[in-house]
């Protein structure tokens, strides 16, 4: 199966030699005139130069082109980095006849190295010549860095007898603890949508997808997620009502599929772990407990070893920082198996059952706090030898 095309969107990919020869590392996404856009970006204070430029351009006008390079993050590069990002936009504008502010730049790769601007600019004509509506899969390959496979998702939605399409691609495998989105993700629809509605829809989708994943607790300098609405289907999304809700659910589901694909491809990951915390006083404290578990190296290495060392999970819950936590109300499950009840080892728990669960590739941890009605869920990975190797060798 291939990603569904989105009317009004074309994608082109080229090998520009930004870091490696003969590797797809430059992607252009073209949006038809009249396309509206919404975006979210990293909250890392050391945001990359292309993030700064893309934010500024989005405040000025709607984009016609997105240009993405891999192999170099153009982050931590100061004034020169900003100049290089702007030069990239001007160069693409000269080739296409659009204004520079109608171009949004995105970069991913090694932080702190100068962008090889000449190679990037030289590669633009080839990427433009490759533009086509069915270029989604090549683009998904073109934005990869340490990813082992391309990540894409597509859904078609029928509203009042007419179809709309939502398709997206993403990249990310390490430095993943988004506080907005993932390292890079691009989603498009052919629906007609007001810009404010588009932004609200994106914010809602991100909260339950890209903002609910973590590989290693590190938020990138380059995180960016863009949602484009070309309007080419002629199907108008109302500001409120059932059609709006169905549209929002479809965008959210595409984002969830992309976010989960990032976790499944986490650097060195062998386990896909869902952490669900129930019975909290509010969503924030549920997420606080979930991330305490997901970010624990001891918990993550136990999962890699398939070791049912449930005391590490218990300890993570206890140090999550919840005030007045009543331990006797806490219950912990591994999949269907209760491991902790009333704050201590469940009397019917056996090591054999725990071992059986931990041997699975997909595992759910469920925590019942017994202090409220709120729930939160995040997805994470184990921590393997390969994660250390990949990141130790990243620049070599």
Cα–Cα dist 217/221, whole Å: 13
Exposure on the CB side of residue 363, measured as CA atoms within 13 A: 28
Instruction: Show the 3-state SS of the chain.
Output: CCCCCCCCEEEEEECCCCCCCCCCCEEEEEECCCCEEEEEECCCCCCCHHHHHHHHHHHHCCCCEEEEEEEECCCCCHHHHHHHHHHHHHHHHHHHCCCHHHEEEEEEEECCCCCCHHHHHHHHHHHHHCCECCCHHHHHHHCCCCCCCCEEEEEEEEECCEEEEEEEEEECCCCCCCCCCCCEEEEEECCECCHHHHHHHHHHHHHCCHHHEECCCCCCCCCEEEEEECCCCCCECCCCCHHHHHHHHHHHHHHHHHHHHHHHCCCCCCCEEEEEEEEECCHHHHHHHHHHHHCCHHHHHHHHCCCCCHHHHHHHHHCCCCCCCCHHHCEEEECCEEEEECCEECCCCCHHHHHHHHCCCEEEEEEECCCCCEEEEEEEECCCHHHHHHHHCCCC
The set of catalytic residues is 182
Contact 225, 180 (CB under 8 A): yes
The two beta strands, 362-368 and 272-280, are parallel
Q: What are phi and psi of 61, to 5 degrees?
A: -165, 170
The two beta strands, 224-229 and 184-189, are parallel
What angle do helix axes 283-294 and 310-318 make, rounded to 10 degrees?
140
């Amino acid at each position: 199966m291939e990603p569904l095309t989105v009317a009004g969107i074309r994608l082109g990919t080229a090998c520009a030699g930004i870091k490696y020869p003969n590797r797809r590392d430059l992607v252009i996404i073209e949006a038809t005139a009249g396309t509206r856009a919404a975006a979210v970006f990293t909250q890392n204070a050391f945001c990359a130069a292309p993030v700064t430029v893309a934010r500024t351009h989005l405040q000025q006008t709607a984009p016609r082109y997105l240009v993405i390079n891999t192999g170099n993050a153009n982050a931590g590069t100061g004034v020169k980095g900003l100049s290089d990002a702007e030069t990239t936009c001007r160069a693409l504008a000269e080739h296409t006849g659009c204004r520079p502010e109608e171009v949004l730049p995105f970069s991913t790769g090694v932080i702190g190295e100068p962008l090889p601007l000449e190679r990037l600019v030289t590669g633009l004509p080839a990427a433009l010549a490759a533009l086509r509506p069915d270029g989604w899969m090549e683009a998904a390959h073109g934005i990869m860095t340490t990813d082992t496979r391309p990540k894409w998702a597509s859904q078609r939605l029928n509203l009042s007898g007419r179809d709309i399409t939502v398709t997206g691609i993403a990249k990310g495998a390490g430095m993943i603890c988004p506080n907005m989105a993932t390292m890079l993700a691009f989603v498009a629809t052919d629906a007609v949508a007001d810009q404010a509605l588009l932004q609200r829809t994106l914010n809602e989708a991100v909260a339950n997808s890209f903002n609910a994943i973590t590989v290693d607790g590190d938020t990138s300098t380059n995180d960016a997620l863009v949602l484009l609405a070309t309007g080419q289907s002629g199907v108008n999304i109302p500001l409120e009502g059932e059609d709006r809700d169905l549209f929002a659910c479809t965008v959210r589901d595409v984002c969830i599929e992309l976010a989960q694909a990032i976790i499944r491809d986490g650097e060195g990951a062998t386990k896909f772990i869902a952490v669900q915390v129930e019975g909290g006083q509010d969503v924030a404290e549920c997420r606080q407990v979930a991330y305490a578990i997901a970010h624990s190296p001891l918990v993550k290495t136990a999962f890699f070893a398939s070791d049912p060392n449930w005391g590490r999970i218990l300890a993570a819950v206890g140090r999550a920082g919840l005030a007045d936590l009543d331990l006797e109300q806490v219950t912990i499950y591994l999949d269907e198996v209760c491991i902790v009840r009333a704050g201590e080892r469940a009397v019917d728990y056996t090591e054999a059952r725990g071992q059986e669960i931990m041997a699975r590739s997909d595992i759910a941890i469920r925590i019942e706090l017994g202090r409220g009605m709120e729930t939160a869920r995040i997805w994470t990975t184990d921590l393997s030898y390969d994660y250390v190797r990949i990141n130790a060798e990243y620049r070599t």
